[in-house]
Chains A and B, each alone.
Chain A
Amino acid sequence: MEIKIEDQKNIRILSAMGEVDMHTSPELRKHLLKAVKDKIPIVIVDLKEVSYIDSSGIATLVEALKGMMKYKGSLKLCSLSERVKEIFSFAKLDKVFEIYKDLQDATIG
């Protein structure tokens, strides 16, 4: 998995590419927890190029969401594949996370 990082005014965009599993989720966690530590107001995780996510990947996102809630930050997810959407729905997380159709919507939403 690769992660591309882009900073805009008050926004950090983490674009993940590949599969997020027990092997790769620590890399995503490292970047998310850095954003939490830096109290970045808005973090967008672009999942457009993510073909697979396991429970460790989801746990990483939940951990970051809870961390950001403490300073009233906003964690947004965008461009979920049908399978990833289905997993979020099954885990009842589709109502917990702010989920956007694409990066543009997430940026202005």
Chain B
Amino acid sequence: MKQKKNLQNALNHRASIEVPSHPMYLSMIRIFLEKLLKLIDIQTLIIEDIKSAVDEACSNVIKYAYKYSYDKTIKVYFSYSPKEIVVIIEDYGEKPQDLSFQGRDLLDLKPGGLGMHFIKKAFDEIVFKSSKKTNKLKMVRYL
């Protein structure tokens, strides 16, 4: 166990995946994250939360940045240190109009508006940056 922890700390855990902006590729992103997080022995509950959050964030890219245009690109960058897990999602679509990162009131029963809650559940820090060409959503989970 200690040996495994030492190995975790010694390795430079960085990886990325680039997929087309079609919803069929969301499952690939989930598999990518699950495999990576299992490799570094992250608790199952945290793995599931991160998978859900990144899935929701990528769905938002398809819906709001790319307006359901399926021939664009989504990049997901992952890094791990014993202190934190960082996931950055990059797209080349429109800048979102609402940057408040608010989900709907959970007591207000209506379809939609839950994705942001999943993102906030999994990550402690959420930062959005937009330049002329790219949008970057950086999400940090402290360990």
Contacts and interface: CB of A to CB of B under 8 A. Distances in A.
Interface stretch (A6-14, A41-49, A90-98): A90-98
The secondary structure that dominates the A interface is helix
B23 A22 contact: yes
Nearest to A64: B111
Contacts of B52: 54, 87
B10 to A, nearest CB: 31
Contact of B111 (A22, A62, A86): A62
B24 interface: yes
B111 A59 contact: yes
Contacts, number: 57
Interface string A64-83: 01100000000000000001
Interface stretch (B78-86, B94-102, B112-120, B128-136): B112-120
Given A22-B59, A83-B48, A91-B106, A58 B114 contact: yes
Taking residues whose C-beta sits less than 8 angstroms from the other chain, chain B's interface range is: 20 to 34
The secondary structure that dominates the B interface is helix
Contact of B110 (A54, A62, A86): A62
A63 B107 CA distance: 15
Interface string B56-85: 100100110000000000000000000000
Interface residues of A, number: 22
A6 B133 CA distance: 50
Interface of A: 19, 21-23, 52, 54-56, 58-60, 62-63, 65-66, 83, 86-87, 90-92, 96
Given A62-B109, A62-B110, A91-B117, 13 more contacts: A21-B23, A21-B26, A21-B55, A22-B63, A54-B59, A54-B115, A55-B59, A55-B112, A58-B114, A62-B111, A90-B121, A91-B114, A92-B106
